[in-house]
């Protein structure tokens, strides 16, 4: 029996085509709550980034953010936290300060960018987001780093991190960096431990590179119809496109909610 649903944000719950949350998805979240099934956002977003969206109708029981590095319950209580430290932090700080390429840090209370160029503006616009403020790093905990690059020309400096970091691409010109061995699964495991839920009692929905680990980990992994083929191949089931009621239809398929009559 499924007891919890983990939901990616961009391209799964929020549509960048319509710049909105599909009404069917909002309805699905309400039905899950009525049926006693927990739901958690599971996103690469930082908490402060979600302030850019109208979340008033999003009925979830908590959030896993920064690609699994921090998790909160519905009251904002922190369930889990992991920060970037050691060699990885030192290296990323050097890149940030030397401004080899645009890079921002997700911290507990803000997102800080080292410098802005046209690539940053283009990518942020593509994900319906404001450009993070440019500033100096002030020794705050870092959950995740995001770097920007032109086309497929990924910075060599990022490739050199492969032994100490996990790198996932979330746009043709952007990627995320977290500590080696960390992913959305890290946050999922922490949340499941917190609520006494087994892996077999989980289902997740996602559409991107950073969702592959959780699609393979959860009891059932569902890829959105708008996912790239390599993401669909990692899933147990492929539902419809986000703008064709993909989340709603996927939950109906697995009997977690019933279709409106």
Domains annotated on the chain, with CATH? 4-81+182-253 (3.40.50.1000), 86-179 (3.30.1240.10)
Q: How far apart are CA 189 and CA 68, in angstroms?
A: 9
Q: Are strands 111-113 and 4-7 parallel, antiparallel or unpaired?
A: unpaired
pLDDT digits (tens, 9 = 90+) for 130-185: 999 999 998 899 999 999 998 667 788 888 898 999 999 888 889 999 999 999 99
pLDDT of residue 111: 96
In tens, the pLDDT along 65-122 reads: 999 999 999 999 999 999 999 999 999 999 999 998 999 999 999 999 999 999 999 9
> What pLDDT score does 169 carry?
86
Which tens digits make up the pLDDT trace of 198-235? 999 999 999 999 999 999 999 999 999 999 999 999 99
Instruction: Answer yes or no: is pLDDT of 244 > 90.
Output: yes
pLDDT at 261 over 50: no
Question: How many Cα atoms are found within 13 Å in the side-chain-facing hemisphere of 124?
Answer: 21
Query: Strand pairing partners for 78?
Result: 72
DSSP E strand boundaries for the chain: 4-7, 38-42, 62-65, 70-73, 78-81, 103-106, 111-113, 144-148, 165-171, 174-179, 202-206, 220-223, 237-238
Q: What pLDDT is recorded for position 171?
A: 83
Can you give the pLDDT at residue 156?
A: 85
Model pLDDT, residue 150: 83
> To 10 degrees, what angle do helices 246-253 and 23-34 make?
30
């Amino acid at each position: 029996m499924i007891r919890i649903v983990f939901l990616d944000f961009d391209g799964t719950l929020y549509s960048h085509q319509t710049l909105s949350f599909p009404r069917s998805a909002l309805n699905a979240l309400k039905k899950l709550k009525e049926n006693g099934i927990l739901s958690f956002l599971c996103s690469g977003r930082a908490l402060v980034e979600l302030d850019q969206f109208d979340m008033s109708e999003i009925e979830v029981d908590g959030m896993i953010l920064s690609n699994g590095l921090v998790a909160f319950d519905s009251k904002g209580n922190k369930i889990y936290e992991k920060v970037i430290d050691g060699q990885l932090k030192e290296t990323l700080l050097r890149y940030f300060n030397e401004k080899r390429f645009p890079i921002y840090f997700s911290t507990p209370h803000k997102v800080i960018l080292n410098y802005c160029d046209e690539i940053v503006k283009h990518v942020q616009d593509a994900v319906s987001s404001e450009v993070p403020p440019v500033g100096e790093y002030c020794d705050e905990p870092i959950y995740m780093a995001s770097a920007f690059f032109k086309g497929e020309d990924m910075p060599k400096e990022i490739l050199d991190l492969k032994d100490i970091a996990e790198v996932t691409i979330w746009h043709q010109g952007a990627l995320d960096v977290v500590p080696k061995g960390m992913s959305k699964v890290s946050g999922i495991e922490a949340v499941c431990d917190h609520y006494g839920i087994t892996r077999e009692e989980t289902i997740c929905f996602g559409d991107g590179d950073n969702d592959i680990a959780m699609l393979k980990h959860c009891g059932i992994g569902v890829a959105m119809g708008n996912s790239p083929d390599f993401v669909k191949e990692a899933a147990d089931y492929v539902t419809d496109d986000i703008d064709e009621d993909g989340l709603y239809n996927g939950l109906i398929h697995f009997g977690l909610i019933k279709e409106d009559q």
